[in-house]
Amino acid sequence: MLRLRFHGRGGQGAKVASRVLGSAAFLDGYNAQDFPLYGAERRGAPITAFTRISRDDIMERGLVSQPDVVVVMDETLLLDPQSSPLSGLKKGGVVFVNTPRTPFETKEGYGIEDHVITLDITKVSLDMIGQPVLSSLAAAVAAKVAGIGEKALRDALKKELSAIISEKDLLDRNIEAAIYCYNSVEPISIETTEKVREKENIISIPFETALVSSPSILSRGNTPLRRTGNWRIFRPVWDYDACTKCMTCVARCPEGCIRLNEEGYPFADYENCKGCLICAEECPVGAISKVRESHSQTKEGDQ
């Protein structure tokens, strides 16, 4: 059995990616499971999705705590202790990271000991689809790593994406971009052992009644301590020559991240701005533009 775990943020499509992979595996003759895990968090919060693939019956249920393959759709999650994407990864496992870095740079940068595959699927999505939509692309990479055939992947993409995309041109661009990513990844043989990586401390929690296992939250709220600025794909940038100080952006920001400087011009708290760009959409004079955010150092030195 092959166990895969997707780590993304709300809105990136980790759930759909897992579903497309499960359908592709089924159409390729495998038994498959796919399901997500997320709570009541808002868009941009970390979420997880899981897929199991096997030629035999799958009798296992529940979360995948010891995956063979981890798909990281947002590389900033690698530094997030609450997400811990590499937790439980089996020895010999494979990590895919959505990043412009090379596999060597990624291993060095994040201290990853396992086999790493990288591809900047965000850039592929922007170039080929025109939107930062990662679900089909992440599914395609995972399908290649899992050894799923291209025809089964195409059929699964058509089946799953047509249920959520009504525009044929957009659907075709999604499939084209996904197949591009599929063919950009070299085939790999996954030979994991049941042993997890060294220094991992996996805890098996026994079933308990709700009276015992339900959480009791006694500590103070910690939301102000949670920096969410690394969730951005684009950052808003103001043109003060065009800005009329109307404060529409300040009023429309759902996170309260826009303040005024001493001259009365708005500016963003980039440590907490999630990059939803509602401010840019609502600006009546078009004084706010979007600049691509890259959390990795590229060859050109972009940030």
Question: Could you read off the pLDDT of 241-257 as tens digits, one per residue?
Answer: 999 999 999 999 988 89
Question: 254 or 218: whose pLDDT is higher?
Answer: 254
CA 39 to chain centre: 16
Q: Among all chains, which residue has been given the structure tokens 């609450």?
A: 82
Q: 12: closest CA among 173, 100, 110, 122?
A: 122
Predicted TM-score of the model (pTM) = 0.79
Least confident of 31-40, 67-76, 97-106, 195-204: 195-204
Pairing of strands 2-9, 46-54: antiparallel
Amino acid at 95: V
Listing DSSP states for 127-181 in one string gives HHTSS---HHHHHHHHHHHHT--HHHHHHHHHHHHTTT---HHHHHHHHHHHHHH
Distance CA 8, CA 45 (A): 8
Helix ranges, the chain (H): 14-27, 103-110, 121-128, 135-146, 150-161, 168-184, 210-213, 248-252, 278-282
Please give the angle made by the CA atoms of 121, 1 and 18, to the nearest 5 degrees. Answer: 30
Give kind and range of the element (H or E) at residue 98: strand 94-98
Cβ burial of 8 (10 Å; 0-12, 13-18, 19+) is buried
Which pLDDT value is given to residue 296?
A: 59
Residue 295 pLDDT class (50, 70, 90 cuts): low
Would you say 283 and 249 are in contact if contact means Cβ atoms under 8 Å apart?
Answer: yes
Distance CA 21, CA 69 (A): 13
Which pLDDT value is given to residue 212?
A: 73
CA dihedral 257, 261, 264, 267 (to 10 degrees): -40
